[in-house]
Structure 1
Amino acid sequence: MHRSGAVMAWNVFKFCTALRGLGSIMILLVLAIIGVTYYAVVLCNYGPALLSAISGSATTTTGAVGPITALFLLLLFHALLAMLLWSYFSVVLTDPGTVPPNWRPPSPMDEERGETSPLTGPEFASQPLQPGPLNGTASPRVRYCRKCNQLKPPRCHHCSVCGRCILKMDHHCVWVVNCVGALNYKYFLLFLFYTFLETTLVTLSLLPNFIAFFSDVEIPGTPGTLATTFLTFVLNLAFALSVLGFLIMHISLVSGNTTTIEASAYEKKTSPRWKYDLGRKRNFAQVFGTDKKYWFIPAYSDEDLRRMPALQGLDYPVRPDAGMQEV
């Protein structure tokens, strides 16, 4: 039994190491998919369609597309692409949030090391005893990470891939080569949102080409450009459908003020309502902020960051009637 556990631990370690090694490869893969899509939409189809419509020459594979339609599609495509890339690199480059050195909870709590072992008196003696500014009820335990050898704030979890504790960790995403946590969760949701809009636009704009592949209509263009257009349509259709599923799932998580990890941990619990669920409006504000001008861009206003400590991942308000739940 001991040998089996050792083999499992070794396999998990090798798996986490492999995920860390995917870093630049996944970023390059994302950029390659974007590049192929750009080539198919702009350079092979709607760019030439706009030029041919203006010059009055023969139509391209997009059919008789007017200059206004082609221009509108190209402008919308580039606008969505800019927001997609901005959101993507915001997720990649933003630290999801880690526990500050020597962090101590802002209110008195019972002790816990991991799940069962309590902290010793000296380990716990130095923490302040004043109540936290946002907590409606005190958290029942101080959680301790054995791997990081430090206390963990509420909703914080250890990521084996990153090798550290992440504030309000949702999951580790190989596509963004980063953990999704308190400080970049909004950026991740915007990345999903703009990816869905962009892939849907590409799918609809290339649909006439896809239909033409299976008809008797003669399609102008080289075999290479036709194959690229076909591949781009299939890729974007697949991404649009899969991202839609993830987007719906995360919208439901935001509306209940929970994360993927927390939802998995509490789906078997009998508690009638999650203690951090403050209502859809306040739950939404904890992720996207209160300033509407910043809702659809991967950034927060200075006022939101100053007034809402929950955005920083260390302190979260709870319902006054909440029980003493803890992840």
Structure 2
Amino acid sequence: MYRSGTVMAWNVFRFCTALRGLGSIMILLVLGVVGVTYYAVVLTTYGPTLFDGGLDTLTSLAVLLPFHGLLAMLLWSYFSVVFTDPGCVPPNWRPDVDEERGENDPLTASDFSGVQTDQSNTKVRVCRKCNQLKPPRCHHCSVCGRCVLKMDHHCVWVVNCVGALNYKHFLLFLFYTFLETTLVTISLLPQFIAFFSDGEIPGTPSSLATTFLAFVLNLAFALSVMGFLIMHISLVAANTTTIEAYEKKTSPKWRFDLGKKKNFEQVFGTDKKYWFVPAYAEEDIRRMPELQGLDYPSKPDLDAQEF
């Protein structure tokens, strides 16, 4: 039995290490897809006809202007997810119940050993791997090797966890990726259809192959990202995460569900000018503690409920 458990732990460790290494490759893959798409749309298809005049120029402008705008927002959102820490537990963090004991008698993780499974007092939890107190909605990531605030999932595409501080950036990345790949799919559709026609197609074999590849990749990404986007929209509407949705699937009520408007604001903030950019207004950061990932408002009648 001991040997079996040791092998399983070792396999999990190797799997997590492989995911960390795979992430760097994924960033290069994303940039590679962007490069292939840019070559097919701008350099091969619509860039050369930009100055031809008439309808060709209008068509090129109608494609290239939104293409570059969406691409800029996509990359901004993507690298915001990559380089923004999702949020970790502060070293001096203590639950609210600690305040009643005073500074001379601080709580430690050992004071709450076993509380994680005590459903009568679930406001205080302990991470068995980190051996530290866990704030509400915090989960341990085996890939990152630490607890992440309001963890949604670990995403190999961004080499990072998606959590409290970068979840909005991740959603915007999905949103702009869907719009960009849909635009590219539609704009390259005539070239894709012509590829199978009997007529003569302008361009070199390499440019035609690149255009064909770009169409297929963007169509695949548009369809797959649409599914993820729909799923996460439903999660935001219910004020839950992927992990929480799985763990509370048998519960009819959720204590953090405050209504679609307030649920949306807990992720995107209240300032509409910042809704579509991977950043928050300073006023929202100052007056909305939920954006920091440590404290979340909940329904008073469901405060005792926790998964």
Would the TM-score normalized by the shorter structure come out above 0.5? yes
Post-superposition shift, 1:29? 1.1
- Residue 97 of structure 1 is aligned with which of 78, 87, 91? 87
* Counterpart contact for 2:116–2:122, Cα < 8 Å: no
Matched, 1:81 2:36: no
**CA distances 1:22-53 after superposition (whole Å, capped 9, x unpaired):** 232211111111001000000000001213x2
What are the equivalent positions in structure 2 for 1:1-327 lying under 5 Å apart? Answer: 1-51=1-51, 53-54=52-53, 66-107=56-97, 111-113=112-114, 115-116=116-117, 140-267=122-249, 269=250, 271-327=251-307
* Counterpart contact for 1:139–1:325, Cα < 8 Å: no
Post-superposition shift, 1:145? 1.0
Post-superposition shift, 1:8? 1.0
Q: Give me the whole-angstrom Cα distance separating, in 1, the residues matched to 2:188 and 2:302.
A: 51
* Counterpart contact for 1:171–1:261, Cα < 8 Å: yes
Q: Give me the whole-angstrom Cα distance separating, in 2, the residues matched to 1:95 and 1:139.
A: 30
Q: Give me the whole-angstrom Cα distance separating, in 2, the residues matched to 1:10 and 1:114.
A: 28
Percent identity among equivalent residues?
76
Post-superposition shift, 1:139? 6.5
Q: Give me the whole-angstrom Cα distance separating, in 1, the residues matched to 2:31 and 2:115.
A: 40
Q: Give me the whole-angstrom Cα distance separating, in 2, the residues matched to 1:233 and 1:165.
A: 40
Task: Work out the number of aligned pairs and report it.
Answer: 296
Letter in 2 for 1:257: N
- What SS does structure 2 have at the residue aligned with 1:158? strand
Equivalent in the alignment of 2:106? none
Aligned-residue CA RMSD (Å): 1.9
Post-superposition shift, 1:324? 1.6
Q: Considering fraction of residues, name the structure with more helix.
A: 2
Compute the TM-score of the two structures, normalised by the length of structure 2: 0.92
Change in CA separation of 1:114 and 1:91 when aligned onto 2, cut-off 3 Å: farther
Letter in 2 for 1:208: P
**CA distances 1:213-236 after superposition (whole Å, capped 9, x unpaired):** 121221011000000000000000
Unaligned residue ranges in structure 2 (runs of 5+): 101-110
* Counterpart contact for 2:77–2:278, Cα < 8 Å: yes
Deviates more, 1:41-50 or 1:17-26: 17-26
